[in-house]
Amino acid sequence: MDRIRIVGGNELHGVIPISGAKNAALPLMIASLLTDDTLTLENVPHLADVEQLIRILGNHGADISVNGRRERQGESYARTIHFTCRNIVDTTAPYELVSKMRASFWVIGPLLAREGKARVSLPGGCAIGTRPVDLFIEGLQALSANIEIDSGYVNATAPAGGLIGARYTFPKVSVGATHVLMMAATLANGTTVLGNAAREPEVVDLANCLNAMGAKITGQGTATITIEGVRSLSGARHRVLPDRIETGTYAMAVAMTGGDVILEDTDMALLDTALEAIRRAGAEITETNSGIRVVRNGAGIKPVDIVTDPFPGFPTDLQAQFMGLMTMAKGTSHITETIFENRFMHVQELARLGAKISLSGQTAKIEGVSRLKGAPVMATDLRASVSLVIAGLAAEGETMVSRVYHLDRGFERLEEKLTRCGAHVERVSD
């Protein structure tokens, strides 16, 4: 099993290309099930989750081809993938596939809308909380779907004439449920209005792609999304938006180590709140023609309090990374997690490096230390794993991160990108 070896102490200087967003690519790929034409997606990252979803879509009958790789300094920088699902050959998404990645549960929306039925295993994914599927089920029931749960599977059927548009207000904001109901409603009869909908950029990206396919969606990016159902969708060509979580992660890495890095092919507007927190911690962040420049020279890291919230608040997917940054702040900071109830599993691993963190409910108190010391640590989930990398970049000596398959789910060529900027990071195969 691979591990990541880090020798800390080097500043970061150079250019890091930002990949396409995993959290946008996955629902966009699933949207290919809604049409028998070809959906072409550009800027798709090469990640374990993407490859897993390709296998799942193939199980449903999608024909998938990859081409158009752009070479930049010898690496495959982006991929263009064509998805063609002329016929759905299987409306069951089995446990052995869905259990490995939560987002694969989202196929229930397109399958139900296009075929009138779906049998999808209850999901798996990172162990960061229960994340139940009640909102998905309640929303689909609002569209007149009949749903039963039996032997670990959600069995869904639509009325004989197809799903029926309706008004549904989410009791709490859910990005995944917003994706699923928006996709399902595109082929429903009549108009669907989703209240308290997620406003994340990835939701907007999916809506824009669906509209390019012939859907009639308005209000994306606001709390109320309206979908006027259409008889069918066509193919389209769409570019996956930049990964704001990867952008924020590398910005925090620069803030942690010091240095001067251009984050290329990304957009400040995707993560204003997170970038403002990094500025308050002591980094200079400016927009450039090609992306974002992050600089920290001289002064140390300042303590900053944050609370995670749905967009446009501070992203829960950057919480662990920010905690890694705060471990060396000159003072005490507090991080409150409001999205997931079990997303502090990285605390004990950061403590192995010398971090001083205490927990009270959903709030972590981080007392900054003057030095971290390298140690063997274990990744517990996707975002927690990269918080250990950030801490390791500034720690004295060697940090060895095990279970890096978590990293491979969401960060494309992380060790190569950091190494090119002067970090001592390498993948070690046992």
pLDDT confidence band for 417 (50 / 70 / 90) = very high
Which one of 85, 126, 209, 421 is the catalytic residue?
Answer: 126
For residues 11 and 46, state if they share a domain.
Answer: no
* Token couple for 105: 């549960």
Q: Are strands 216-218 and 225-228 parallel, antiparallel or unpaired?
A: antiparallel
For the cut 70, the answer to whether the pLDDT of residue 47 exceeds it is: yes
Residue 27 makes CB contacts below 8 A (sequence gap 6+) with: 103, 106, 179, 183, 202, 206
Q: Is 135 annotated as a binding residue?
A: yes
Residue 361 makes CB contacts below 8 A (sequence gap 6+) with: none
Q: Is 102 annotated as a binding residue?
A: yes
Eight-state DSSP code of residue 114:
H
For the cut 90, the answer to whether the pLDDT of residue 409 exceeds it is: no
For residues 338 and 413, state if they share a domain.
Answer: yes
Q: Is 172 annotated as a binding residue?
A: yes
For the cut 90, the answer to whether the pLDDT of residue 123 exceeds it is: no
- Average pLDDT of the residues of the chain: 93
Say what the pTM is: 0.94
Question: What range defines the domain where residue 265 resides?
Answer: 2-16+243-429
For the cut 60, the answer to whether the pLDDT of residue 128 exceeds it is: no
- Greater pLDDT, 339 or 188: 188
For residues 166 and 44, state if they share a domain.
Answer: yes
What is the rounded distance in angstroms from the CA atom of residue 377 to the CA atom of residue 212? Answer: 45
Least confident of 83-87, 161-165, 359-363, 384-388: 384-388
Question: How far apart, in Å, do the first and last CA atoms of the chain sit?
Answer: 6
Ordered alpha helix ranges (H), 213-346: 244-257, 272-280, 319-326
What is the rounded distance in angstroms from the CA atom of residue 319 to the CA atom of residue 337? Answer: 8
Query: Which of 174, 206, 235 lies at the terminal end of a domain, its last residue?
Result: 235
What is the rounded distance in angstroms from the CA atom of residue 281 to the CA atom of residue 295? Answer: 12
**Is the peptide bond between 303 and the residue preceding it cis, with omega within 30 degrees of 0?**
no
For residues 193 and 253, state if they share a domain.
Answer: no
Q: Alpha-carbon Rg of the chain, whole angstroms? A: 22
Total count of domains within the chain = 2
Query: Which of 180, 213, 235 lies at the terminal end of a domain, its last residue?
Result: 235
For residues 196 and 250, state if they share a domain.
Answer: no
For the cut 80, the answer to whether the pLDDT of residue 75 exceeds it is: no
For residues 284 and 392, state if they share a domain.
Answer: yes
% of the chain beyond a pLDDT of 90:
83
Q: Is 132 annotated as a binding residue?
A: yes
For the cut 70, the answer to whether the pLDDT of residue 77 exceeds it is: no
Which residues does residue 76 pair with via DSSP β-bridges, in sequence order?
71
For the cut 50, the answer to whether the pLDDT of residue 348 exceeds it is: yes
Query: Which of 216, 235, 254 lies at the terminal end of a domain, its last residue?
Result: 235
Q: Is 131 annotated as a binding residue?
A: yes
For residues 40 and 181, state if they share a domain.
Answer: yes
Nearest to 175, CA basis, from 116, 121, 131, 112 = 131
Q: Is 417 annotated as a binding residue?
A: no
For residues 122 and 192, state if they share a domain.
Answer: yes
pLDDT digits (tens, 9 = 90+) for 203-259: 999 999 999 999 999 999 999 999 999 999 999 999 999 999 999 999 999 999 999
What is the rounded distance in angstroms from the CA atom of residue 390 to the CA atom of residue 401? Answer: 11
Q: Is 173 annotated as a binding residue?
A: yes
Amino acid identity, residue 180?
V
Q: Is 347 annotated as a binding residue?
A: no
Catalytic residue check, 85: no
For the cut 50, the answer to whether the pLDDT of residue 52 exceeds it is: yes
Q: Which helix (H) or strand (E) holds 84?
A: strand 75-84
What is the rounded distance in angstroms from the CA atom of residue 107 to the CA atom of residue 269? Answer: 29
For helices 108-115 and 175-186, angle between their N-to-C axes, nearest 10 degrees: 10
For residues 80 and 52, state if they share a domain.
Answer: yes
For residues 304 and 210, state if they share a domain.
Answer: no
pLDDT at residue 127, rounded to an integer: 39
For residues 164 and 222, state if they share a domain.
Answer: yes
What is the rounded distance in angstroms from the CA atom of residue 327 to the CA atom of residue 217? Answer: 44
For residues 149 and 280, state if they share a domain.
Answer: no
What is the rounded distance in angstroms from the CA atom of residue 219 to the CA atom of residue 193? Answer: 10
For the cut 80, the answer to whether the pLDDT of residue 290 exceeds it is: yes
pLDDT confidence band for 2 (50 / 70 / 90) = confident
CATH assignment of the domain containing 224: 3.65.10.10
Q: What value does the mean pLDDT take over residues 156-162?
A: 97
